[in-house]
Structure 1
Amino acid sequence: MNLVRAELLKIRTTSTWWWLAIGAFVSIVLAFAFNAWVASTVLGGDADTVGLSGEQSTPAAQAANIYTSGQYLGLMFVMLIGILMVTNEFFHQTATTTFLATPRRTSVIIGKLVAASLLGFLFWLATTVIDLVAGAAFLTITDHGTQLGEWPVQRALLFNLLAYAIWTILGVGIGTLITNQLGAVITAAVLYLIGTQVVGLLFLLLSSLLDTQAVVKWQVIWPAVASQVMISEGQSPLTPAWWVGALVLAGYALVSGVAGVLITRRRDIS
């Protein structure tokens, strides 16, 4: 716990998390406005306009989407926090001091993983409170009720929490793999923002070549897609079940955590 508190102190006493929090807030505002427009269109009877299936057009499905607004960029921001928790040690040349103070490197990385998960929880809590207040008001005004008693909505909120926790763990894993701070941040951001679009395009092209839409479902192997899938309610021909996304993301978290520990234990720290 001393290691966890130390990691939280390192983050809390820098301005980095403030900038990331501001970015997360802006992303929530923009995403909520878009999701509210989609919900208004779908629940108004024009689901075909936005290409949603019947299962995705229910009030519960739209409420789940609204209450998780801002997840896409929010997950990137918490991933960056996880990366900075590791790369800051090398950027500010404190890694040697850290490992001299705590020779058991496994304990250090586990401390970072736990601290990262706690930060992910705090980001989820803050964003979810904003979404719940604004979303409940919007749904009540539009005469659809808050939908908070529906299991699909509750599941989306819980799995959104899991996504935030896992992406901070993934960030720590990336930081242990690429210790150069600028290189790690740029690589992770590009893979997240541009890589996701490229993966989607590649699977669409592959489905066209093989003449089957079933192939498109396999893009869930990409973690950013898996995050979106596991909080979605209702399926389209191009979307796998929510539990598939949850299993994929959990697998990434396990591999990332183990890899982070093994790499750090073997790395030469000078």
Structure 2
Amino acid sequence: MARLISGEFAKLWSTRLWMWLLLATIGLTALFASLNIAFNDDPATLAPPLATAAGQRLLFGTAAGGAQTLVAVLAAIGITTEYRHRTATTTYLTTPHRTRVIVAKLVTYCLVGAAYAIVCLAVVAVIAWPWLNARGIDVTVTGNGIPATAMGVIAAVTFFALLGVGLGALLREQVGTVVAVLVYLFVAEPIVTRIPALQDWTVYLPGPSASALARITLTDQSFLRPWQGGLVLALYCLGVISAGLWRTTRLDLT
């Protein structure tokens, strides 16, 4: 298994895609955090005041919003590339146990997702500390529930990496998988979750579940408890990965 994981990392480093997506993730995180701080005093904002624990948890929780979508895209590309460039046949001939290959990809992109999340948390901290200190707001990474939020962010991004691998294994088609992930997470889900009449069930969607795991609070939207959000995401991962494994092990590569 160690050899397979090493091979997956070698494939990942062989292109610059991971670097460009990391830079895009950093940019999105910086944008989200900056907008949160800049408009926090606006009466129309949905965020709690940054002087409160809830406001600071939301601020650090923006790291998940910046990372989880692009990590899912990176993970999906990591497996669909095998089918797009016809390298899957060689991969599975080298390692006939296809499940082991998928497990190696899952482990690889879990680690990559955790690394992306940590980088994004650092970006938020670098932006937040001087900006909020200039406003006279004290920020401490050891209080106000921020450590729990940071762990939730890392877990949420890791779950999205697993979802990316599972979707890639299930759908196989690279462009379609990437477009589906981007449209759903950037367009469809944000629209649906803002409809008050649907909020009784939209809390169980992947994005809101990740927000719950990161202990995010909004003034107009309710979330599950953190452990419930984590459980929901775990069930999504279990379902998608199981379907992806079934297709990988039962169907032809052509």
* Same fold per superposition (TM over 0.5): yes
| Shift, 1:231, TM fit | 1.8
**How far apart, CA to CA, are the structure 2 residues paired with 1:104 and 1:256?**
19
What do the CA deviations read for 1:212-256 (whole angstroms, capped 9, x no partner)? xxx514211210222123223457573033323222112212222
| Shift, 1:135, TM fit | 1.7
Residues 1:71 and 1:234: Cα distance change in structure 2 (over 3 Å): closer
**How far apart, CA to CA, are the structure 2 residues paired with 1:51 and 1:76?**
22
**How far apart, CA to CA, are the structure 1 residues paired with 2:166 and 2:208?**
19
- 2:209 — aligned with what? 226
Kept in 2, the 8 Å contact 1:113–1:257? The answer is: no
Q: Out of 9-18 and 56-65, give the one that drifted further.
A: 56-65
Kept in 1, the 8 Å contact 2:92–2:98? The answer is: yes
**How far apart, CA to CA, are the structure 2 residues paired with 1:65 and 1:241?**
15
What do the CA deviations read for 1:164-217 (whole angstroms, capped 9, x no partner)? 10101000111011111111111221122122134225x43xx2xxxxxxx514
Q: CA RMSD in A?
A: 2.1
SS in 1 for 2:203: helix
What do the CA deviations read for 1:17-42 (whole angstroms, capped 9, x no partner)? 12211211211221121111244x1x
Q: Say whether 1:251 aligns with 2:220.
A: no
Kept in 2, the 8 Å contact 1:152–1:233? The answer is: no
Kept in 1, the 8 Å contact 2:167–2:241? The answer is: no
- 2:36 — aligned with what? 35
Decide which of 118, 135, 138 is 2:131's aligned counterpart. 138
**How far apart, CA to CA, are the structure 1 residues paired with 2:108 and 2:249?**
19
| Shift, 1:112, TM fit | 0.5
Q: Say whether 1:66 aligns with 2:75.
A: no
Q: Say whether 1:168 aligns with 2:161.
A: yes
Residues 1:191 and 1:64: Cα distance change in structure 2 (over 3 Å): same
Kept in 1, the 8 Å contact 2:64–2:154? The answer is: no
Q: Percent identity?
A: 25
**How far apart, CA to CA, are the structure 1 residues paired with 2:31 and 2:218?**
25
What is the letter of the counterpart of residue 266 of structure 1? Answer: R
- 2:100 — aligned with what? 107
- Unaligned ranges ≥5, structure 1: 208-214
Residues 1:110 and 1:131: Cα distance change in structure 2 (over 3 Å): same
Instruction: Within 5 Å, give how 1:228-243 maps onto structure 2.
Output: 228-234=211-217, 236=219, 238-243=221-226
What is the letter of the counterpart of residue 26 of structure 1? Answer: G
- 2:249 — aligned with what? 265
Aligned pairs, number: 252
Residues 1:6 and 1:137: Cα distance change in structure 2 (over 3 Å): same
What is the letter of the counterpart of residue 100 of structure 2? Answer: S
Structure 1 runs, 4 residues or longer, greater than 3 Å off: 232-238
Residues 1:262 and 1:193: Cα distance change in structure 2 (over 3 Å): same
What is the letter of the counterpart of residue 230 of structure 2? Answer: A
What is the letter of the counterpart of residue 8 of structure 1? Answer: F
Query: How high is the TM-score relative to the length of structure 2?
Result: 0.90
| Shift, 1:71, TM fit | 2.6
- Unaligned ranges ≥5, structure 2: none
Q: Out of 110-119 and 127-136, give the one that drifted further.
A: 127-136
